[in-house]
Amino acid sequence: MTQRLHLVFGGELVTPSENVFKNVDDLHIVGIFPNYAAAYDAWKHEAQRTVDNAHMRYYIAHLHRLRDEKNAAAATEELG
């Protein structure tokens, strides 16, 4: 059975119009979740908790895509 791990994290952006963190040392790692539904619930909770700060953003990273060794070029910005 394939695990589909998801990482939920967030932090303050330099500007709300770009996905550039103000300080990566201050990222909030919410956790790693075994499925998308659990990750989405955690993401939604954090996003709603920080809704008054327009510079705060939370994301769901699909860790299982990074572990996909069958795909030589998994979809990541680093690999282009």
Is the Cα torsion angle 24, 78, 16, 4 positive or negative in sign?
negative
CATH numbers and ranges of domains, the chain: 6-60 (3.30.70.2400)
Q: What is the pLDDT of residues 23-75, one digit of tens each?
A: 999 999 999 999 999 999 999 999 999 999 999 999 999 987 776 666 655 55
Closest CA to 23 of 5, 11, 40: 11
- Res. 19: pLDDT tops 50: yes
Give the per-residue pLDDT at 27: 97
Place of tokens 């990566």: 24
- Res. 76: pLDDT tops 80: no
- Res. 78: pLDDT tops 60: no
- Res. 80: pLDDT tops 60: no
